[in-house]
Amino acid sequence: MNYSMSREPSGRQYINYAFYKLTNDWYQLSSLKRKNIAQKLTTILTKYDKKLTLNLYSTLGVRAECDLMLWRVSDSLEIFEDMTIEMLNSGIGPYLNTIYSFLSMTKHSQYVSKNKNIDQEGTRIKINPKKKKYLIVYPFVKKVDWYLLSKKQRQIMMTEHIGTGHKYPSVSINTSYSFGIDDQEQMVSFETDYPEDFLDLVEEMRSQKARAYTERDIPIITCIHKSIKDLKNIIS
């Protein structure tokens, strides 16, 4: 399929975090059938890994409602659809439930022009995953009152918020935006090799003024990075 657009591309990217749960019936299949389907699915992921930015994560043992997650980044929205169709037609479709699927896009943040710090603010419109060991991801919604504040008032609180992030350089942030295209307003994901640093970062931010304007920031899901070739070990 041709994913070209009718006007000059903006350079902004689409982001999708898709969380999946294998049904109980999957584990009733023979080991051989599971391995065959897992191999087909691995082939599909390998194919699309050449067409978009694709990262695989396991949530086994750390979340009850999902088993694995695909973090997909592309200049095209339709490629997510095509890839999902191929995945479901691989034989795993009847055994795979989509628990969450969060859609967002990149854009420049209005709060960071004077606070640039690579990998920790929304100064870029291209997402470049670092493939660190852990990814913590969650949807984010602000209270209406936040948007009724002046730009100056919001900037003061965001400057404090951003400054706290700078204290934890082991944590890389990827912020993307969902206004009008999904239920949340932002998607936030943090890559790190040290979950304890992220825990301390979030605890410190809880006492800041901006926190009072948070409407929703759950579910917060911790994911473990895997290579595509690990998929067979995760699901079969």
Give the tens place of pLDDT for each residue, 199-227.
Answer: 999 999 999 999 999 999 999 999 999 99
Q: Please name the amino acid found at residue 91.
A: G
Q: Percent of the chain at pLDDT above 70?
A: 93
What are 135's two structure tokens?
A: 């990814």
For 229, other C-beta atoms within 10 Å of its C-beta total 11
Domains 14-104+224-235 and 107-223 share a fold: yes
Confidence label for 7 from pLDDT (cuts 50, 70 and 90)? confident
Domain made up of 14-104+224-235: CATH architecture: 2-Layer Sandwich (3.30)
- Alpha-carbon Rg for the chain in angstroms: 19
Cβ(15)–Cβ(69) under 8 Å? no
> Which one, of 62, 155, 61, lies nearest residue 112 by Cα?
155
pLDDT at residue 149 tops 80: yes
Mean pLDDT score of the chain, rounded to an integer?
93
Length of the chain counted residue by residue: 236
- Asked whether the beta carbons of 53 and 129 are under 8 A apart, the reply is yes
Residue recorded with tokens 């973090």: 71
Which pLDDT belongs to residue 17?
98
**Torsion sign, CA atoms 38, 42, 43, 45:** positive
The pTM for the full model equals: 0.92
Contacts of residue 176, Cβ cutoff 8 Å, sequence gap at least 6: 15, 104, 105, 106, 107, 127, 186, 187
* 3-state SS assignment for residue 133: coil
Q: What is the pLDDT of residues 95-106, one digit of tens each?
A: 999 999 999 999
Task: Tell me which of 3.90.650.10, 2.40.37.20, 3.30.70.1030, 3.30.870.10 is the CATH number of domain 107-223.
Answer: 3.30.70.1030
Measured CA to CA, the distance from residue 170 to residue 167 in angstroms comes to: 9
3-state helix, strand, coil in the chain (%, to 5): 35, 25, 35
Residue predicted with more confidence, 125 or 184 = 184
Task: Provide the residue ranges of all domains of the chain, joining segments of one domain with +.
Answer: 14-104+224-235, 107-223
Rounded average pLDDT over 8-28:
94
